[in-house]
């Protein structure tokens, strides 16, 4: 289904993206544009180029970090403080649909390349910025790294156990959300431009992006003005809805109502628990969640996870295994959905946007060597746009 083509390219076929992004946040966003068919030209600084070219883990000489988020892009080294290279950059902007950058706010303006500067050159340009705190507000200049944004956005305070410390999400969540929202904003602005004929400045903040994901934390703030306590792996108002220990590992079990709870009790050979006054309804089960968990784990610890996955699933109760990243990424479901692709001989995660009639190729173009396309691009953009 995924490879049947309506036309040659992806959703963004014909779109030219000039990519000044570096490290993780911005490149993660522009990699999705490339995945969906845009032409993405990555501009790297003289010297060693994007910092992540030196980051591990490595496959031979190749940084997987760089390879993951720069697949399918072209690379040119430009010194944006030097006249000749600035001219090439401006020639690119004249023909570009999108400029993406994730410098600290102010850096592009000091180069003479603010949105206002470049909109004069190309009013149809979509100029996308992603930064820690955005281009407005008192923290616009505040230094931001993923760990700092996670700490300041509330997500770290909400993750972890009541008796444990605040916990960082085990991935660079704020960086990646910033990149995904930047991609979304670019797609939205490209659509809007079809109607208005005008470009815009898309201004994304990792901080805003993480706030938008607080869910119960934000709802509780709106309802009571208070912060939620950390509650570990359980659900705030459904039980049992948690991760449980078996003899050899963990399973997640989710019972959203009394009916499923009764089925679960039957499946673990403790049907009478469904009639225990502490566990009669969801409100009672949440109130007695520690006792409930203990009662269930007494049984669950008697057999391995595989046993419970078969038997509790057969009873019609939602259950899933705890998988590590290796198991998750090599799962037949990840394979069937083309979520592990290959680029330059390296395996990497695919794009979750599956669109019928558009390509989702299992093999993509690799990330470029530094300045790999420099000579060709200097020739292509030596002059302004060709006559229409």
* Contact positions with a copy of itself (CB under 8 A) in 300-329: 318-329
CA distance 333 to 335: 5
Contacts of 160 (CB under 8 A, 6+ apart): 166, 167, 230, 232
Q: Which residues of 284-299 are buried (b: 16+ CB within 10 A; e: fewer)?
A: ebbebbeebbebbeeb
Mark the segment that binds a copy of itself (CB under 8 A) among 76-84, 88-96, 227-235, 271-279. Answer: 227-235
CA distance 182 to 203: 8
47 binds a copy of itself (CB under 8 A): no
43 binds a copy of itself (CB under 8 A): no
Residues 255-274 that bind a copy of itself (CB under 8 A): 256
Nearer to a copy of itself, 290 or 336 (CB): 336
82 binds a copy of itself (CB under 8 A): no
Nearer to a copy of itself, 55 or 85 (CB): 55
Nearer to a copy of itself, 310 or 349 (CB): 349
* H or E stretch at 386: none
The Cα-based distances of 68 to 55, 218, 366 in angstroms read 12, 33, 9
Residues 337-376 that bind a copy of itself (CB under 8 A): 337, 339, 346-358
219 binds a copy of itself (CB under 8 A): yes
Retrieve residue 305's tokens.
């996870």
- The Cα diameter of the chain in Å comes to 81
In Å, how far from its chain's centre is CA 292?
35
201 binds a copy of itself (CB under 8 A): yes
Closest Cα to residue 200, out of 95, 98, 94, 91? 98
Least Å distance between CB 147 and a copy of itself?
A: 5
Retrieve residue 296's tokens.
């269930």
252 binds a copy of itself (CB under 8 A): yes
Least Å distance between CB 76 and a copy of itself?
A: 25
CA distance 271 to 240: 15
Least Å distance between CB 244 and a copy of itself?
A: 10
Least Å distance between CB 294 and a copy of itself?
A: 15
Out of 47, 83, 226, 386, the residue judged to bind a copy of itself by CB under 8 A:
226
Closest Cα to residue 19, out of 56, 46, 50? 50
Out of 82, 84, 215, 272, the residue judged to bind a copy of itself by CB under 8 A:
215
Q: Which of 235, 250, 313, 373 is catalytic?
A: 235
Mark the segment that binds a copy of itself (CB under 8 A) among 98-106, 221-229, 274-282, 293-301. Answer: 221-229
- Asked about 259 being catalytic, the answer comes back as no
Neighbours of 146 (CB within 10 A): 23
**Helix, strand or coil for residue 254?**
strand
Residues 104-163 that bind a copy of itself (CB under 8 A): 115, 133-134, 136-139, 142-145, 147-161
Q: What is the DSSP letter of 273?
A: G
Q: How many residues bind a copy of itself (CB under 8 A)?
A: 148
Least Å distance between CB 110 and a copy of itself?
A: 19
Write out the catalytic residue numbers: 235
């Amino acid at each position: 289904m995924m490879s049947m083509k309506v036309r040659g390219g992806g959703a963004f076929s014909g779109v030219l993206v000039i990519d000044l992004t570096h490290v993780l946040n911005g490149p993660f966003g522009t990699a999705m544009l490339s995945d969906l068919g845009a032409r993405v030209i990555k501009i790297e600084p003289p010297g060693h180029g994007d910092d992540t070219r030196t980051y591990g883990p490595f496959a031979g000489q190749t940084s997987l970090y760089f390879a993951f988020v720069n697949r399918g892009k072209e690379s040119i080294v430009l010194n944006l403080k030097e006249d000749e290279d600035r001219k090439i950059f401006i020639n690119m902007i004249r023909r570009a649909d999108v400029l993406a950058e994730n410098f600290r706010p102010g850096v592009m303006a000091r180069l003479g390349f603010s949105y206002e500067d470049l909109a004069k050159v190309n009013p149809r340009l979509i100029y996308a910025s992603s930064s820690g705190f955005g281009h407005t507000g008192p923290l616009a200049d505040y230094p931001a790294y993923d760990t700092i944004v996670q700490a300041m956005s509330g997500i770290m305070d909400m993750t972890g156990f009541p008796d444990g410390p605040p916990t960082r999400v085990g991935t660079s969540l704020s960086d990646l959300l910033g990149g995904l929202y930047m991609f979304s904003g670019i797609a939205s602005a490209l659509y809007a431009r079809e109607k208005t004929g005008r470009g815009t400045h898309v201004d994304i903040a990792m901080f805003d992006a993480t706030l938008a994901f607080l869910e119960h934390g934000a709802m509780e703030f709106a309802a009571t003005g208070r912060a939620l306590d950390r509650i570990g792996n359980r659900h705030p108002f459904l039980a049992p809805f948690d991760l449980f220990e078996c003899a050899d590992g963990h399973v997640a079990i989710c019972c959203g109502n009394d009916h499923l709870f009764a089925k679960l009790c039957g499946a673990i050979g403790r049907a009478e628990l469904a009639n225990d006054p502490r566990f009669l309804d969801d409100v009672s089960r949440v109130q007695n969640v520690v006792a409930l968990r203990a009662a269930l784990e007494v049984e669950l610890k008697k057999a391995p996870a595989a046993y419970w996955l078969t038997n509790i699933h057969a009873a019609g109760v939602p259950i899933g295994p705890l998988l590590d990243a290796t198991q998750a990424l090599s799962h037949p479901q990840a394979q069937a959905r083309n979520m592990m692709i290959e680029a330059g001989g390296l395996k990497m995660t695919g794009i979750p946007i599956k669109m019928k009639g558009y390509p989702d190729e299992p093999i993509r173009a690799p990330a470029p060597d530094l300045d790999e396309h420099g000579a060709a691009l200097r020739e292509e953009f030596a002059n302004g746009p060709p006559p229409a």
